[in-house]
Structure 1
């Protein structure tokens, strides 16, 4: 027995009722659609193939077909701690997720979805940059820009976790990392760029120029801290990524005249990060200039190619995060320290996958595998992952399923696969599992 819910779209409209056979036919069509899609998108060959395939299906399910947008999660206000107040609306598209999302889509063999998602971001963001505005950090699935947060006070929340929110108060924050994420996303798919109209190519070049003009400014950082702006390491790093990728793409963007200025800015940001991002007392790169707080986003120093995986400072940062920014099971927290918000949160699965990916880049594949397995072990029987895990139980926390966690899983699996492939090629007969590079 099946039942279906219908929405009446206007006054006086006659309700539509499906019979049992029609519902059965539609369910069969849905199953066939997902089965055929999954069969087409199975090009990844490497460790954890089933988990990677499942995560690709999740990203497809989080896509809004009419525009190509991919939401961070399909839910709102599922708390980071049961009964707490860190309850956010994640039913939007974050520019922050762009480059990591596109890489994950390539790995899980979804090139059409990757192209649609990039085109959505470029279209939504170009309107703002052309008007002299700073790029917004997030958009509605139709490209909506006005996303104010409001509280639904009549709802008690999941397990009395109030408030229930609609909209997101971070929508108008300044986050300078968005420039790097857009250019890194573009660099993931250079073949796709060749077919873009001149206006879009000009927008990408202007995005790099915006990073040149603004990288010295403080902002709210990747984690959307609701406090005073600071000079966050990750924000500086992603501005470096913006100009670095623009230099790489200069021929495609048809902007050779801008390369000298981009190169000078890249050198300036490099000097700034190396001088002010490292904290000698902590023996690690830290959250912000002058801060002693560890932050998992420092792992991106190696992941985006600012530092080689074997750089001593990067290795020391990985060790500090693995030793001092994890719970008793080795799951990674986002950061230590006050962020201006009440309550606590769990360990972040994305950050744990970042650690696995960073270890793979360093050639530490056994440690990388152990960290990956630790995080992947919290997927449900359907292969779904939440944002966080409670520190004292296996309870999943936060909005669900969480795109960031699935993106982290795919990219970490591929990084480990590639690291093991390189080791196998250098030392034949090791018996390690290999993998193929995604189609860039």
Structure 2
């Protein structure tokens, strides 16, 4: 693959709320993980040219444009050739959404691709090259009536096709369509012992209609936001729903692994897991963008997964889990893959599961507080879990940790971690009646005040003129923007204003976007891009401080980094504006939603 790679912005996301695919602008599916987000890939051309793909595209020269079909995550790409116009509609199929609330609980684990000629005629090429287990396996393709069968170690793939495809490990074929003609394809994953059958053209068409209707009904019932940047907020809400594993309510940070933070660098991580922090942020963002309705289920799942009893015994809350609740996520490298743009190593698993990150107590309790109206039926175990989070924050806030950015150097006393322990106690006090925890409130209040005093004394740097990254440090960190956002400081507090100004002045990169922190030894080599979440935090903080015009300017600069279908990556290259990092990134879309909401509220307040 060398150092050349298709731009990350060329991809669009497909999801059935259990697994995911990425489709390139030219009609090539270069990433597919079924049946779960964290399953071994079927196609991984995203990370190595030899690791599998499935393209459907015109023969010869063409132009392409694409968009999601109205309020769905179904992608439609229009190809124009010298002889005609063809639309390819791609979706990961979901079952009927009869309630409008739950999307993706029952899915056939099937990628649908429907090709329709709308003008003239066009000749289309199909190339199918499955490479399961991250490209390790080159399975033999067995012809069958109506398609191909492909068996490998953990299951089977069944490709339903209206044309005969030829080839032993890579199958190819062509078909010509005239105006009004269509052809449907379906790629189904079947586990060992599962039902194996090819799909008819009628079944493919019906499955596509069902998927469109399911997404539309979910959006119609859930997406009520009417503030600034409505369309971008609604799309972000759909992306966050698409990154939610429906059987448990877990939210993946992104559906990909090892897309780098710098081209050719080593900062390449597997994000296909559920970070407690991201999931908590997502619940709040969805309450703005899509009224999640499943907060109670999420907190019950988290309580079962994280073990409240362990917290009571002094253990730390693990910071990420598999989407099914798995604890052990040991990281390893796939040395046979060259990586996107030659960026190695390619990693699967994530050793951050071993880290201590104290901020997660605050993020979970903040989400619970914001969504307290949906927690009326939280069971005793769930209530005890939230109480244990507050107790853990009170007992452990004095300890060092690896912080929100998961540094791989020595633990420190990060200001953000202390802040979120304060938030944990503050929100627990507000939830005390719902949690039947009135007896604990005096202890929580006392600990909250001690943490405040420590942050104000040790987190403020006279030399930097701002709240710093860690106690005793003069380095700036964009996470200090959360001090006013969480309510620790009032928006007109002089120190808060000075911190926001310092971050804006000293952490803004050449792209005009905010970087996470002033560079020091964080245990890793190489550079990284500007972090989009941090720019949205800045817009949010400026809105709270009454700086509406500046907030809009910062917001629009960050939002403009989205690709043609509205998706945001984790980072943006300092020069050139190239999207970097795993894609699409939940945190970036969370930041967009929350900043738009804050700006809208501030503007409404300013106008009475």
Q: TM-score range by the shorter chain?
A: over 0.9
Q: Distance in 1 between matches of 2:294 and 2:241?
A: 8
* Residue in 1 that maps onto 2:166: none
Contact in 1 for aligned 2:356/2:402 (Cα 8 Å): yes
**Equivalent residues in 2 for 1:71-86 (5 A)?**
71-86=252-267
**Equivalent residues in 2 for 1:30-45 (5 A)?**
30-45=211-226
Residue from 463, 468, 493 that aligns with 1:311: 493
Residue from 121, 135, 143 that aligns with 2:317: 135
Alpha-carbon deviation of 1:381? 1.8
**Equivalent residues in 2 for 1:75-154 (5 A)?**
75-127=256-308, 128-129=310-311, 132-154=314-336
Question: What is the SS of the residue equivalent to 2:186?
Answer: coil
Contact in 1 for aligned 2:257/2:582 (Cα 8 Å): yes
Q: Note if 1:288 corresponds to 2:452.
A: no
Q: Distance in 2 between matches of 1:141 and 1:14?
A: 24
Contact in 1 for aligned 2:425/2:444 (Cα 8 Å): yes
Contact in 1 for aligned 2:224/2:290 (Cα 8 Å): yes
Q: Note if 1:189 corresponds to 2:371.
A: yes
Q: Deviations over 1:385-418 (max 9, x none)?
A: 1100111112100000100000000000000000
Q: Distance in 2 between matches of 1:304 and 1:233?
A: 13
Contact in 2 for aligned 1:60/1:113 (Cα 8 Å): no
Q: Note if 1:349 corresponds to 2:514.
A: no
Contact in 1 for aligned 2:257/2:346 (Cα 8 Å): yes
* Residue in 1 that maps onto 2:20: none
**Equivalent residues in 2 for 1:34-433 (5 A)?**
34-127=215-308, 128-129=310-311, 132-338=314-520, 339-425=522-608
Alpha-carbon deviation of 1:19? 2.2
Alpha-carbon deviation of 1:40? 1.7
Alpha-carbon deviation of 1:121? 2.3
Q: Distance in 1 between matches of 2:604 and 2:398?
A: 40
Contact in 2 for aligned 1:98/1:185 (Cα 8 Å): no
Alpha-carbon deviation of 1:31? 1.3
Alpha-carbon deviation of 1:77? 0.5
Question: What is the SS of the residue equivalent to 1:73?
Answer: coil
Question: What is the SS of the residue equivalent to 2:481?
Answer: helix
> What root-mean-square deviation, in Å, do the aligned CA atoms of Structure 1 and Structure 2 show?
1.4
Q: Distance in 1 between matches of 2:573 and 2:433?
A: 48
Alpha-carbon deviation of 1:14? 6.8
TM-score w.r.t. length of structure 1: 0.94
Alpha-carbon deviation of 1:132? 4.3
Alpha-carbon deviation of 1:33? 1.2
Contact in 2 for aligned 1:76/1:91 (Cα 8 Å): yes
Alpha-carbon deviation of 1:301? 0.4
Q: Which has the larger radius of gyration?
A: 2
Question: What is the SS of the residue equivalent to 1:7?
Answer: strand
Contact in 1 for aligned 2:250/2:279 (Cα 8 Å): no
Q: Distance in 2 between matches of 1:230 and 1:345?
A: 21
Q: Please, which moves more after superposition, 128-137 or 93-102? A: 128-137
Q: Distance in 2 between matches of 1:4 and 1:164?
A: 29
Contact in 1 for aligned 2:285/2:593 (Cα 8 Å): yes
Q: Distance in 1 between matches of 2:501 and 2:248?
A: 42
Question: What is the SS of the residue equivalent to 1:111?
Answer: coil
Question: What is the SS of the residue equivalent to 2:514?
Answer: coil
Q: 1:287 to 1:207 in 2, by over 3 A?
A: same
Alpha-carbon deviation of 1:20? 2.3
TM-score w.r.t. length of structure 2: 0.68
Q: Distance in 1 between matches of 2:318 and 2:340?
A: 30
Contact in 2 for aligned 1:118/1:185 (Cα 8 Å): no
Q: Distance in 2 between matches of 1:92 and 1:16?
A: 31
Q: Deviations over 1:120-162 (max 9, x none)?
A: 3233223542564210000110011101101111111111111
How many residues end up aligned between the 2 structures? 424
Q: Distance in 2 between matches of 1:8 and 1:62?
A: 22
Q: Which runs of 5 or more residues in structure 1 are unaligned?
A: 426-440
Question: What is the SS of the residue equivalent to 2:607?
Answer: helix
Question: What is the SS of the residue equivalent to 2:353?
Answer: coil
Question: What is the SS of the residue equivalent to 2:232?
Answer: helix
Contact in 2 for aligned 1:322/1:330 (Cα 8 Å): no
Contact in 1 for aligned 2:277/2:360 (Cα 8 Å): yes
Q: Distance in 1 between matches of 2:529 and 2:192?
A: 44
Question: What is the SS of the residue equivalent to 1:3?
Answer: strand
Q: Deviations over 1:314-343 (max 9, x none)?
A: 111111111110112320000112212111
* Residue in 1 that maps onto 2:171: none
Question: What is the SS of the residue equivalent to 1:103?
Answer: helix
Q: Which runs of 5 or more residues in structure 2 are unaligned?
A: 1-182
Question: What is the SS of the residue equivalent to 1:6?
Answer: strand
Q: Please, which moves more after superposition, 67-76 or 324-333? A: 324-333
Q: Deviations over 1:157-209 (max 9, x none)?
A: 11111111110011110011111111111101112222111221122112111
Question: What is the SS of the residue equivalent to 1:353?
Answer: helix
